[in-house]
Amino acid sequence: MDVVFRILQVVASVLILEVTTWHPTRKLSICLAKGKMKEDKDARWFELECVPKEYIFPMEYRPQNLDSPVCDSIPVIDLAKSKAANGHNSQPVEEILKASQEFGFFQVINHGMAEKTVTDAINVLKEFFDMQAKNTTGTVPHTKGYIYTNSTDFAKDGVHLWRENLKHACHPLEECVRLWPDTPTRYQEVIAAYIIEIQKLSSRILEMICEGLGLKQGYFKDTSEVQLLSSNLYPPCPDPSLTLGILAHYDPSLLTILYQGGSTGLQVMKDGQWVNVGANPNAFVVNIGNQLEIISNRKLKSVKHRVVNNTHETRRSIATFVNPSPDCIIEPAKHLVNELEPSLYPASQYKDYVLRNKAFGDYTAAIQNALR
């Protein structure tokens, strides 16, 4: 009996050795385009059976809680309430303030933007990314009027993000539009219409924040513009436990307004844990950027967030950054500073802040030059 047991032990240890030593090699050796040969020029970079090593993040960056439930406590705020009978509009103001203090994030529904404006924008961006895939010479970044970074964009320690990204300036709109991609042909018209609506929505939200903080009306009026659009394509990923769509970061904006359609993937840090933000195709996700945290003397929080990948779905997002103008001096509002609550931040010109913090990564200087 002992002999049989011993033989089984040896066989088992050989098998385990076999599995542990050859598993990674086997994984890499089958890392070919799905159903195609590796050389197939038509295969997009993400159409793979497994994750190439260039996309595998070191352990400490990898997402841990991919299966954790969607956090339903991030507030979804109905903006139609602000138009409630007899002009009484205090409820969304309070909700927005509370969400901005507790989470730094909230979603808005009944925001008044026509569905068509949003779906047109998503569709034209989809076409844009599809066209890049066929453009085999397109080893961008193309930094003329816009920046398109495909999978050759090294994000951290030489590891690629599992995404493609398009960025461009949006202010002043009439001047910027001409520098945007001109294929698809409707790109400029459709995205300009989207930006105009986002500008209206952001002004409305900033007015409510003003009211909530007790700042005078129009406090942000001359210093907040939708300056930058950053659109992402996060393709399905064979093993999302190894990759990231966007590394953990804070937004250097005043306010960010994100459209994420019906797909999850956005995670927000709450009490030391990553929580998943729910997806609602009728909502915009709004988050407080670093500049609003400064102006509010940390009454409102700019919160760390990131994007994780998923196996089956394609995530598409449009982030619009509402920023102060580059020359604007950003400091805590005088009204919010007193003996008991001294200023927590030194004053700084926004453009200096951006350059000092390399707010847009490797492209900070290029983006800063494009912003006015």
Residues binding Ni ion (CB under 5 A): 251
Give the 3-state secondary structure of residue 352. helix
Answer yes or no whether residue 260 interacts with ligand OGA by CB under 6 A: yes
What's the min distance (Å) between Cβ of 34 and Ni ion? 30
Query: Could you say which of 317, 322, 360, 363 contacts ligand OGA (CB under 6 A)?
Result: 317
Question: How far is the C-alpha of 332 from the C-alpha of 347, rounded, in Å?
Answer: 8
Residue among 257, 343, 247 at smallest CA distance from 299: 343
Question: How far is the C-alpha of 282 from the C-alpha of 80, rounded, in Å?
Answer: 13
Answer yes or no whether residue 230 interacts with ligand OGA by CB under 6 A: yes
Question: How far is the C-alpha of 67 from the C-alpha of 269, rounded, in Å?
Answer: 16
Give the 3-state secondary structure of residue 109. strand
For the four alpha carbons of 196, 201, 205 and 208, in that order, the dihedral sign comes to positive
Pairing of strands 225-234, 164-169: antiparallel
Answer yes or no whether residue 320 interacts with ligand OGA by CB under 6 A: no
Give the interface segment with ligand OGA, choosing from 119-127, 169-177, 258-266, 268-276 (CB under 6 A): 258-266
Answer yes or no whether residue 166 interacts with ligand OGA by CB under 6 A: no
Answer yes or no whether residue 290 interacts with ligand OGA by CB under 6 A: no
Q: Please count the residues of this chain forming the interface with ligand OGA, following the rule CB under 6 A.
A: 11
Question: How far is the C-alpha of 141 from the C-alpha of 254, rounded, in Å?
Answer: 26
What's the min distance (Å) between Cβ of 39 and ligand OGA? 32
Answer yes or no whether residue 164 interacts with ligand OGA by CB under 6 A: no
Q: Closer CB to Ni ion, residue 153 or residue 251?
A: 251
Specify the DSSP element, H or E, that contains 95. helix 90-102
Specify the DSSP element, H or E, that contains 104. none
Query: Could you say which of 103, 305, 354, 367 contacts ligand OGA (CB under 6 A)?
Result: 305
Shortest Cβ contact with Ni ion: which residue?
251
Query: Could you say which of 159, 251, 275, 330 contacts ligand OGA (CB under 6 A)?
Result: 251
Question: How far is the C-alpha of 358 from the C-alpha of 352, rounded, in Å?
Answer: 10
Answer yes or no whether residue 232 interacts with ligand OGA by CB under 6 A: yes
Shortest Cβ contact with ligand OGA: which residue?
317
Residue ranges in contact with ligand OGA by CB under 6 A: 230, 232, 246, 251, 258, 260, 266, 305, 307, 317, 319
